[in-house]
Amino acid sequence: MKFRDGMWLTAEGMRVEYAEDVYNITQTEKGLSLLCPTRKIFQRGDTLNLSTLTIDIEAASDGIISVETTHWAGEAVKGPNFDLFPDGQPKIEPQITQGVKGTTLNAGALSATIHPDQHTFDIRFHSTDGSKALTSLLNRSVGLAYSPGPSNPMQTGDMRDFKHYIFTQTTLGIGETVHGLGERFGAFNKVGQSISLWNADGGTSSDQAYKNVSFWLSSRGYGIFIDTPGKVELEIGSERCSRVQTSVQAQRLKWYIIYGPTPKDVLRRYSILTGKPGKVPSWSFGLWLSTSFTTNYDEATVNSFLEGMKERDTQVDVFHYDCFWMKAFTWTDFVFDSKRFPDPKAQISRLKESGLVKKVCVWINPYIAQHGAAFKTAAEKGYLLKRKNGDVWQWDLWQAGMGLVDFTNPDAVKWYVDCLNGLFDKGVDCIKTDFGERIPTLDVEWFDKSVDAHKMHNYYAFLYNKVVYEALQARYGTSEAVLFARTACAGTQRFPLVWGGDCESTPEAMAESVRGGLGLGLCGYAFWSNDIGGFEGYPAPWIYKRWVAFGLLCSHSRLHGSSSYRVPWTIDEDNKSEEGCSRTLAKWTALKTRLMPYLYAQGAKAVENGWPLSLRAMCLEFPEDRTAWYLDRQFMIGDSLLAAPIFDESGEVEFYLPKGKWTSFFTDKIRDGPGWFKEKHGFGSLPLYVRENTILVLGKSGVKGAVYDYAQDVEVCLYQVTEGASAELVDNQGNTLGTLKIDPSGELEGKGLLKGSWTTSDNGREVDELYSKTIEWL
């Protein structure tokens, strides 16, 4: 939303009024309240016939300050509202001081200072110790706008024909970059972009996003969380090049500025504000295999998939039934298609008893088709969203005559959970919560009359996933619940995990997916996945294999397509060579399995701190390296592993290593950073580098499945370690066993934690020399 036409003119059809003065500062219980007229006040008569904006600046927590701008305070405050500080708000005693630089509010590590001159609109946000200037609200940076612009103030007595906006413009420093705002598939650095935070089913090749998160991270050591689930419009250096403009159609706009100083610190504080990611079970890190979307399948097909994977040396930990486990025209009615699955409970039991798979997942959504068994009950009992005239809200987009579950109705929630429990009774262990983006805002009435329909559009994702996640927790235990969700908003990181949505089977789409995962990770999402091989289309064998390498280095890994299967032998006519799809998948699945002691320990750190496990943007680990803020084709896996997917059929790849010594995981060769490097790889490898001073614990070679004893028969690999280098050791339930550590003499402490025939490798790991023939340094 742009309010100006360049520097000098107001946009056509707009009226814009800016806070020009800080006429009065009042101390409140939590901070300061600023009365800001929209023209400078020099005499008493100047106070008449003008608008004012109230800016409330409050200490929310250590390093967190809220800023709320209000025009007309009488606007009805409707929900839903984000569930902030879900684990309890830390106590903070705001401190207010006055000095030559103005009035300062201190919230622990973060402060805000208001300029002492009433006629100079200037609010500065900075570290309390004065070491870091963060951002500011300067001249003409806070305002209100009307569209169309009224020609006479009397016209605003009837607001039905006017739209009213509140906006703020925080300054952008020279060279400052902006990241996050959810799972966005365009350029990683958002400066220069116009972004609307509005959930939409737009695939991965547009400016629409399934997961719009109202939080962005700055390279200057702070983040901003916009506290509204309604539609937010951002102009990030795209209306004024030196400012980030945030606007909402409302009478109020509230946001929180969160100080670091490091980006990891920002995310840690953000996770306190909006919630920490939930813990996921170890089995969920294994390979997931799907039936795909519109393909035909039954018990024989499923068995053939899993037996074929076993024959080709690949263990599947989770099998996923997509839409057509239910009959056509009946989604979602929670009823297995009796023709294809006459006894689903027995079939699922047989699958698990065979050892072909550990867990089973099924696809659902909150859309209830008119022709399904569930619709009549849901409609009659008032469990579906209604139109204002009392009709059930329905349309024919997606499912014929579908309605939408009204999760603001407690009875509807109970009914939906009862439906889920019916699936759990049949042996279903986890749920793919698809859709939830197309939530209507016009001509609708929610059961909870206190909610605003426009705010419900994005927030519905939170309610939907919360209901399903908590149902899984109630059945299987707090730490055993896991989703595969597509839509999200701020706070939904509490209900892991999410996947990237509908991507094409192209290298460009794989790069889009990487950017999406990086951006979402910078919004506090610890766990993320994507459709290996691409969802739409038919991947060429080389794309499939390169995507397999990328996908098995994500926190979670799923093979899934649309109208074609993703089992490897269907991709390349069952090429059985070492470079074929089947052997490539087997190698990368085996590698991820060996990495589980590292991945699961790093996952616990990610949950505790609100950090992404994978994909972790390079700037989180190397914030002082300016190049790291622009890297969107590579990522960290936890603290110590760097991966660079390959997007070219030739196998050539260019990547960047920050300062330090980096060891190739596949060859033990060492590179010195910082610098750009080029390599050429076969399908069994990619640039995977281990950071210096790392203790990397690997599971026993040949182990099958993600769940095993992470302290038994392991290989402890040391990479240029010095005193103090350490690695947490956890079991497959996430319990901390202890710490491996390098002592002052250079010896490894904590060996008593290890069991069986464990080994230590002092300069890297025991590598397969065959890789030296397939990796070329260019």
For residue 373, what pLDDT is reported?
A: 94
| Residue 289 DSSP SS3 | strand
Mean pLDDT computed over 590-608: 98
Report pLDDT digits (tens) over 139-153: 999 999 999 999 999
- Token duo for residue 677: 């490097």
For residue 280, what pLDDT is reported?
A: 98
Q: How far apart are CA 250 and CA 158, in angstroms?
A: 15
Report pLDDT digits (tens) over 607-619: 999 999 999 999 9
Residues with catalytic function: 434, 437, 502
Q: Is the pLDDT of residue 443 over 90?
A: yes
The DSSP symbol for 413 reads H
Residue 771: which pLDDT band, with cuts at 50, 70 and 90? confident
Report pLDDT digits (tens) over 714-751: 999 999 999 999 999 999 999 999 999 999 999 999 99
Strand partners, 692: none
For residue 235, what pLDDT is reported?
A: 98
Q: How far apart are CA 3 and CA 246, in angstroms?
A: 11
Q: Is the pLDDT of residue 524 over 90?
A: yes
Q: How many CB atoms lie within 10 A of CB 73?
A: 9
- 223, 266 in Cβ contact below 8 A? yes
For residue 226, what pLDDT is reported?
A: 98
Residue 76: which pLDDT band, with cuts at 50, 70 and 90? very high
Q: How far apart are CA 266 and CA 257, in angstroms?
A: 10
Mean pLDDT computed over 765-777: 90
Average pLDDT, the chain: 97
Task: Please state the length of the chain.
Answer: 778
Domains of the chain, earliest start first = 13-73+94-170 (2.60.40.1760), 282-368+409-609 (3.20.20.80), 618-777 (2.60.40.1180)
Q: Is the pLDDT of residue 770 over 90?
A: no
Q: Is the pLDDT of residue 650 over 90?
A: yes
Q: What percent of the chain has pLDDT over 90?
A: 99
Predicted TM-score of the model (pTM): 0.97
Q: How far apart are CA 331 and CA 578, in angstroms?
A: 41
Going by C-alpha positions, the residue among 205, 188, 206, 208 that lies closest to residue 196 is 208
For residue 769, what pLDDT is reported?
A: 86
Q: What percent of the chain has pLDDT over 70?
A: 100
Q: How far apart are CA 238 and CA 189, in angstroms?
A: 13
CA angle 315, 501, 688 (to 5 degrees): 55
Mean pLDDT computed over 675-698: 98
For residue 711, what pLDDT is reported?
A: 98
Enumerate residues 6+ apart whose C-beta is below 8 A from 762.
Answer: 718
Mean pLDDT computed over 16-28: 97
Report pLDDT digits (tens) over 333-379: 999 999 999 999 999 999 999 999 999 999 999 999 999 999 999 99
The DSSP symbol for 699 reads P
Q: How far apart are CA 65 and CA 59, in angstroms?
A: 5
Per-residue DSSP letters for 447-501? Answer: SSTTB-HHHHHHHHHHHHHHHHHHHHHHHH-TTT--B-B--B-TTGGGS--EE--
- 131, 147 in Cβ contact below 8 A? no
Mean pLDDT computed over 297-308: 96
The DSSP symbol for 105 reads E
| Residue 379 DSSP SS3 | helix
Report pLDDT digits (tens) over 199-258: 999 999 999 999 999 999 999 999 999 999 999 999 999 999 999 999 999 999 999 999
Enumerate residues 6+ apart whose C-beta is below 8 A from 243.
Answer: 141, 169, 170, 171, 172, 235, 237
